[in-house]
Amino acid sequence: MGRSPCCEKAHTNKGAWTKEEDQRLIAYIKVHGEGCWRSLPKAAGLLRCGKSCRLRWINYLRPDLKRGNFTEEEDELIIKLHALLGNKWSLIAGRLPGRTDNEIKNYWNTHIKRKLISRGIDPQTHRPINAGSQFTISSANHQGSLKNIRDNEALKQSPNSSSQDMQSNSSVIDVVERCPDLNLDIAINIAYSTDQKPFSSSTEVQKAPAVTQATTPTSVSPYFQPICLCYNLGFSKSEACSCRASSNDNQHVLRYYRPLIEEGHQTN
């Protein structure tokens, strides 16, 4: 059957973008917004493939991009997120406002890999290159997170838990043990303004700006909806967890209690 090409390759430019092309793309998106990348080049008068336009916009032209060197804090965050998520660059980028997946991927391959190796850490496994020793857990927060995860280990015996579930749990524990200061007891919240309905659909909720630390709304808004971290970590509906609001917590914040154990994804 074959797959239809994403564009007429014979009539498209390739390689570096010119200033004029950039201006055309910016002007078009300013007026019409993002989306419909396939038809955008023609509509914008660009001899480019839609994918190329999308990439150029996302990685280079978007106004909210942060330019300049990565800070030490960003470095450490990337390392920790990579330990947790692996090469899920888009998810990692979601936790670093103003940075793109491509930028982080490049930065990882050119800087952080070497940095970790120089520290004697394998950049893929995040384990010491020549050590099989066990790690100890130092952070109190972290111990709480680990306990939650370990509690789930008990559920491994449950007939409802799949082997994939077990694997996921093991890997999370593994990461927690290797990154003692990585606080997995994360709560997230959606940025919103009181006079604005923040999100109207689940799709928009998933595209919410990443917020890693809990922020407490000053008043209860009818529009406010709790959001589960697992969505932001990229789990699909079929890989649902059963996160819930703790009675001690703000009810609009879900905590990362039980990854990938129970069926049915609850967001409230």
Partner DNA sequence: AAGGACACCAACCGCTCTCTC
Partner DNA sequence: AGAGAGAGCGGTTGGTGTCCT
**Which residue from 202, 147, 192, 189 is spatially nearest to 172, judged by alpha carbons?**
147
* Stretch of residues binding DNA (CB under 7 A), selected from 109-117, 137-145, 179-187, 248-256: 109-117
Could you tell me the smallest distance in angstroms from the CB atom of residue 90 to DNA? Answer: 3
Residues in contact with DNA, shown as a per-residue x/- string from 204 to 243 under the rule CB under 7 A: --------------------------------x-------
* Beta-carbon contacts of residue 180 (< 8 Å; ≥ 6 apart): 135, 136, 137, 138, 139, 142
For position 36 contacting DNA by CB under 7 A, the verdict is yes
Strand-pair partners of 119: none
Residues within window 41-60 making contact with DNA, judged by CB under 7 A: 48-52, 54-56, 59-60
How near is the Cβ of 104 to DNA at its closest, in Å? 9
Residue identified by tokens 């996302």 is 58
Amino acid at site 92 = I
Q: How many CB atoms lie within 10 A of CB 14?
A: 9
Q: Which residue in the set 46, 77, 91, 230 belongs to the binding site for DNA (CB under 7 A)?
A: 91
> What track of x and - describes contact with DNA for positions 110 through 149 (by CB under 7 A)?
xx--------------------------------------
Euclidean distance between CA atoms 214 and 240, whole angstroms:
21
Strand partners, 253: 227
Question: Would you call 37 helix, strand, or coil by DSSP?
Answer: coil
Contact of 44 with 24, CB cutoff 8 Å: yes
Using CB under 7 A, list all residues that contact DNA: 1, 3-4, 6, 9, 13-17, 35-39, 48-52, 54-56, 59-60, 87-91, 101-103, 105-107, 109-111, 203, 236
